[in-house]
Amino acid sequence: MFGPTAMSVEFEKFREVLDSRYSQDDIALIERAFEYAKEAHTGQVRVTGEPYFAHSSTVAAKLADLKLPSEVIAAGILHDVPEDTARTIDDISREFGEDIASMVGAVTKLGKVKYRGEDRYAENLRKMFVAMAQDVRVIFIKFADRMHNMETLYALEEKKRVRIAKEVLEIYAPIANRLGMGEYRGLFEDYAFKYLQPKEYSWTQHLLEERVKKFGPAMERALKNVDFELRKSGVQGVELHGRVKHCYSLHRKLLRYKSDISKVYDIVALRILVKDIPACYAALGILHGLYTPLPGRIKDYIAQPKPNGYQSLHTSVFDDQGSVLEFQIRTHQMHEETEYGVAAHWRYKESGTTPNERQVRWMEELAQIQKELSTTDFMQHLNELKLDMFSDRIFVFTPRGDVIDLPEHSTPIDLAYAIHSEIGNKAVQTRINGEIASLDTPLKSGDLCEIIVDRNRQLPNEDWLNFVKTRHAREKIKDALRGNKPGLWSSLMKHVR
């Protein structure tokens, strides 16, 4: 029997990346976006020589890998349509609705943000941050987009490669980290490392390969053995796999240990995934019954999670031939959280009555955040959502509802100059969260800070130089003092007037 519509061969192939949890409606939407974008990009070619649409569908496939909702996948397929084809955002809105169009629009806007060195850094971060607070789905699309660009970075000229690799290392990887997306962070760092430090990269890569060769057979044996014993003991939901440390992460660790690789135990590790927390401890007990644990190497990150929320039991054991093997034991849910972080919250629930319950809750929370962008609760909400990403930056609100990001311990004077140098020069007083405060008070994230100016004031106070934290404020103060220090002549002229 034939279906209601004949699928194109290409979409038929793409469909294979969609797992069974996507409904007929989901698939119909994705197919519609697929054919629309394919047509729109007809004739366009990427620097790699592939048809442009291959990029769009790869980005969508990555979003499907994250098991994100169909609207996100559709927006992913369409993400370069308004920028690179004759079709506009309005066309997309008419065809696919407001929600998908707004994601595509936000990705397009973010695409215009380019890393050009230190001074642009804060602005990039802010834009990413705001996009994330408004709709974290946009960040997933941007991540998938950038990941495919990194995979094909070889096709660009050297200068561009370095610029993009730096941007990925400085902006994308830290954001992925703060969003708990371990897999994306690791891949971003490895790609950037490869282009920024090619020598160190290939040396570290070589170390990894050696290690895998050396420990492969022992791991294979242990894997079978442990799997058998866990199942025999009735531990539920057992799934085992090996994992190799990310290259850049090993590089960082080697720098810490002065290149002494013998101190790094977790280059290759075995992961045991089980059903629930009691099963984690049961598995640890069984494992220690099989192999002797290395003293001092047992870490219980379930009872005491890492600051970023990471949970697992870690242990290193001697196998029957004296090799040291590291095991990481966690529940499937902890695993999802570690690898996919915030994205894991966006997935369809594995089973249960309402498939989108969690997702809907996130939608609501994010919609709420958007509304609260101009209130002091904003930072607190973000923290609750584990989006507290910039530990060394603070975000301060102005009475107009603007969010200004500043280095830690910045003062109202730093804020005043960040808004405008005239506001800085004429500042006389400040109100922090409604209370009068002194101009050198260190600000905290979420503070609502108002600068009171005296329009008749001519010059900043030289003492401010003793406490301002930003270079920007310091320079503006010096400029004002230097430029406006009334010389004899001009002070005389004042009297004449």
Q: Give me the active site residues, please.
A: 83-84
Residue 68 C-beta: closest distance to Mn ion, Å = 17
Return the number of the residue (145 or 190) whose C-beta is nearest Mn ion.
145
Q: At residue 316, what are phi and psi to the nearest 5 degrees?
A: -115, 135
d(CA 430, CA 439): 6
- Decide the pairing of beta strands 268-274 and 324-331: parallel
Residue 135 C-beta: closest distance to Mn ion, Å = 17
Return the number of the residue (145 or 336) whose C-beta is nearest Mn ion.
145
Instruction: Assess contact for 406 and 442: CB atoms under 8 A.
Output: no
Residue 145 C-beta: closest distance to Mn ion, Å = 4
Residue 40 C-beta: closest distance to Mn ion, Å = 13
d(CA 212, CA 190): 17
Residues interacting with Mn ion, by CB under 5 A? Answer: 80, 145
Encoding tokens for residue 116?
């050009």
Encoding tokens for residue 465?
């130089």
d(CA 362, CA 343): 11
Q: At residue 458, what are phi and psi to the nearest 5 degrees?
A: -95, -45
For the chain, report the end-to-end CA distance as a whole number of angstroms: 96
Return the number of the residue (48 or 205) whose C-beta is nearest Mn ion.
48
DSSP 87-132: --HHHHHHHH-HHHHHHHHHHHHHHT----SHHHHHHHHHHHHHHH
Encoding tokens for residue 479?
């400029």
Residue 80 C-beta: closest distance to Mn ion, Å = 5
d(CA 16, CA 71): 18
Contacts of residue 310, Cβ cutoff 8 Å, sequence gap at least 6? 301, 338
Task: Count Cα atoms within 13 angstroms, Cβ side, for 173.
Answer: 20
d(CA 299, CA 328): 9
Three-state SS letters, 325-378: EEEEEEEHHHHHHHHHCHHHHHCCCCCCCCCCHHHHHHHHHHHHHHHHHHCCHH
Residue 39 C-beta: closest distance to Mn ion, Å = 17
Return the number of the residue (57 or 470) whose C-beta is nearest Mn ion.
57
Residue 55 C-beta: closest distance to Mn ion, Å = 6
Contacts of residue 236, Cβ cutoff 8 Å, sequence gap at least 6? 274, 275, 276, 279
Return the number of the residue (109 or 478) whose C-beta is nearest Mn ion.
109
Return the number of the residue (52 or 327) whose C-beta is nearest Mn ion.
52
Which DSSP helix (H) or strand (E) runs through 160? helix 158-167
Helix axes 136-151, 52-65, angle to 10 degrees: 120
Residue showing the smallest CB distance to Mn ion in the complex: 145
Encoding tokens for residue 239?
């799934």
Return the number of the residue (80 or 189) whose C-beta is nearest Mn ion.
80
Return the number of the residue (80 or 447) whose C-beta is nearest Mn ion.
80
Residue 75 C-beta: closest distance to Mn ion, Å = 12
Q: Count other Cβ atoms within 10 Å, centred on residue 139.
A: 25
